[in-house]
Structure 1
Amino acid sequence: MDLPVMPPISPMLAKSVPSIPDVGHFEPKWDGFRTIVFKDGDEIILGSRNERPMTRYFPELVEALQKNLPDKCVIDGEIVLIAGNRLDFEGLQQRIHPADSRVRMLAGSTPSSFIGFDILALGDENLMDKPFSERRAALEQALAKAEAPVYVTPAVTELDQAQEWFVQLEGAGLDGILSKPLGGTYQPNKRVMFKTKHERTADCVVAGFRWHKTGKVVGSMLLGLYNDAGQLQHVGVVASFPMAKRESLVAELEPYQTEFSEHPWGQWADQGDAAATGSRMPGAQSRWSAGKDFSFVPLRPELVIEVAYDYMEGDRFRHTTQFRRWRPDRTPESCTYSQLEEPADYDLGEILRLP
């Protein structure tokens, strides 16, 4: 491979802001795997944000990129999985599998798509020092004849339209709006774009905690919500605390410690049983975090806290939540899924060229 921009390259990042800034260019914020595509003839490398090689997991996408991209280019974008008329991040996660036979089977049953939103090089020219307005024009030209499953991200220039998208597109599984200054150069690993995401609050049961990696202070608290059957479901964690708060939480939570045999998630001590029933396992390993210790200290489900979250992915919070306050006025049993807001459905085909 011989390109003017060679892997690995850390992608340019975005800083969170509470409202959409009027910078002249707005795009949907896609929920997938951030990927920089390096293409030199038939050779393609899919570089991820953490520099984990992604190429082997998406053979169907490699084939599509070979067909739809210019002969030599470096394009920044997102690998997504479109299920029906919305994004499916849970399904996308299943695509990361160690067995090649499984990878090939999933490539056929749940094919992925690539959304391009920036270009770093075209032919023998390095475009990283060009203003974004020029890079966007080059991207549109480079992918003008691209067909599904390769797309150029849609964009608008009017703030009013961006604010409308912010509300509408959540119903299709997107998680906010990216705002990009038109004069900005491409700066790897720098937060020079802006992202505006939804924030809501929910009252959750504190059902356990994990120790912090640095020692005997609280690292994160495990959250639960009751479903319609009265079962406490693991929905995520809250983990952003100052060190002093982590220390004080040890004493605050100590009186509520219990045994797994007396805990609603006691059956998950046997991960085989949990896997058989499809339950969410607070202590389970994932393909992205193999080797990490996810054991937790069970707590009697009597404490309620209010947390801020952006949106749900299936039946749990998509990202780590933010602590807001304790809720001694709420009973644990009142913390159900019914309190959560459901965005109105939105068809991705309205903004994306879907077949």
Structure 2
Amino acid sequence: MPADVCQRLASTLPPGTIVDGELVAWAAGRQRTSFALLQRRVTAGRRIVDEVRRHPTYLVIFDLLQEVGVEMLRLPLAARRARLTRLLADAPPELPLCPQTTDRDLALAWYDHGGDLGIEGVVVKALAGTYRLGRADWIKTKKRVSAEAVVGGVVGSLTDPATLLLGRFDSAGRLRHVGRAVPLPTAQRQELGALLPVAAWRGPYQRHPWPQSLPPAWTGQFDRPQPLDYIPVEPVIVVEVSADVAWEHGRWRHPLRLLRIRALNRRRLHPQLSRVVRRIKESI
């Protein structure tokens, strides 16, 4: 927990109080939350004081687990919420209470339009529900959209890809990395494994537009700081993916789910692909 947030908590809540919440950073220029600003704190080093001053973090508080040493886990949500509201009545803006409603239409409005503010979805809790550690009886619903992307690399092998690295072309025609797919099920691995060997990278000067090993910041693998090795492929396979609304600085923050192969750019494919294309088209 950042020191500035800890100081605010200590000066606002009585000793022995435990709350559940999430750290966020607000990008004033974009009028939305920014995960990138939180990441910058991790790598700020000596610039951390300046980062704290320019981009303060907020702890959005969801729930109350303990108050003045007394456990609140077995209380119903409605009672925990009432106590939490009282505790945060005079809290600073950096310790906001997460909005909650029993109005279905308002909740749907949050779900539909929250993505503009960087909010990924809603969580549904029962008013009579207790706080069960390790077994939260809640329904977390993220807003998802379908989108198209280009396969730029694979992790695993060309004949048996474990997952895909995806990109999109910018206005200058350069392939920009935009995200990574979740591990592929067997059927999708087999389908792509028939296409990828003949789509291996054969670009000019044998140089792919991405680094040979992707930096951790590109893939969001902050729990594994080493670069990610992959096999580059020609950007000729267009796929449809399911993504949540966590899109920042030209990339999806969370892994994507592959829905289907959308198209194959025949003009850029290796000549040997014609037979494979016909076979794949017949099976889709």
Q: Is the Cα–Cα contact under 8 Å of residues 209 and 218 in structure 1 kept in the other structure?
A: yes
Equivalent residue for 1:96, pick from 42, 59, 63 = 42
Give the unaligned 5+ runs of structure 2.
Answer: 269-284
Aligned match of 2:215 = 284
Distance 2:223 2:44 in 1: 13
Closer/same/farther in 2, CA of residues 129 and 153 from structure 1, 3 Å limit: same
Q: Are residue 211 (structure 1) and residue 145 (structure 2) matched?
A: no
Q: Structure 2: how far apart are the matches of 1:150 and 1:124?
A: 20
Cα distance in 2, alignment partners of residues 142 and 149 from structure 1:
14
SS of the equivalent of 2:241 reads strand
Equivalent of residue 254 in structure 1, options 193, 197, 203: 197
The match for 2:260 is 325
Bigger CA radius of gyration = 2
CA distance in 2, matches of 1:259, 1:67: 61
Match of 1:184 among 105, 109, 129: 129
SS of aligned partner of 1:229: coil
Q: Distance in 1 between matches of 2:267 and 2:179?
A: 16
Q: Which residue does the alignment assign to 2:87?
A: 142
TM-score normalised by length of structure 1: 0.67
Deviation at residue 208 of structure 1 after TM alignment: 0.6
What CA deviation, in whole Å up to 9, does each residue of 1:296-351 have, x standing for no partner? 10001111111111122221112111111111267899xxxxxxxxxxxxxxxxxx
Does the CA-based 8 Å contact 2:236-2:265 persist in structure 1? Answer: no
Please state how far the C-alpha of 1:236 moved relative to its aligned partner.
0.2
| Distance (whole Å) between structure 2 residues aligned to residue 178 and residue 189 of structure 1 | 16
Per the alignment, in what secondary structure is the counterpart of residue 172 of structure 2?
coil
Query: In the TM superposition, what whole-angstrom CA distance separates every residue of 1:263-300 from its partner, at most 9, and x where no partner exists?
Result: 4415x24xxxxxxxxxxxx6113482345451110001
Q: Does 1:119 align with 2:64?
A: yes
2:182 pairs with 1:239: yes
For each residue in 1:3-51, what CA deviation from the matched residue of structure 2 results, as whole angstroms up to 9, or x when unmatched? Answer: xxxxxxxxxxxxxxxxxxxxxxxxxxxxxxxxxxxxxxxxxxxxxxxxx
Q: Check 1:69–1:326 CA distance in 2 against 1; reply closer, same or farther (3 A cut).
A: same
Letter in 2 for 1:253: L
Q: How large is the RMSD of aligned CA atoms in angstroms?
A: 2.5
Q: Number of matched residues?
A: 260
- Give 1:111 deviation, angstroms: 1.3
Question: Per-residue deviation at 1:223?
Answer: 0.6
Q: Distance in 1 between matches of 2:266 and 2:118?
A: 31
What does residue 171 of structure 2 align with?
A: 228
| Structure 1 or 2: more helix by fraction | 2
The answer as to whether partners of 1:133 and 1:183 remain within 8 angstroms in 2 is yes
**CA-to-aligned-CA distance 1:49-73 (integer Å, 9 cap, x gap):** xxxxxx3xx2211221122222220
The unaligned stretches of length 5 or more in structure 1 are 1-54, 270-281, 334-355
- Structure 1 Cα separation of the partners of residues 38 and 223 of structure 2: 16
Kept in 1: contact 2:174–2:209 (CA 8 A): no
2:235 to 301, 304, 307: 301
Partner of 1:195, secondary structure, is strand
Work out the CA distance in 2 between the residues paired with 1:119 and 1:191.
14
Identity of paired residues, percent? 28
Alignment TM-score, normalising by the size of structure 2: 0.83
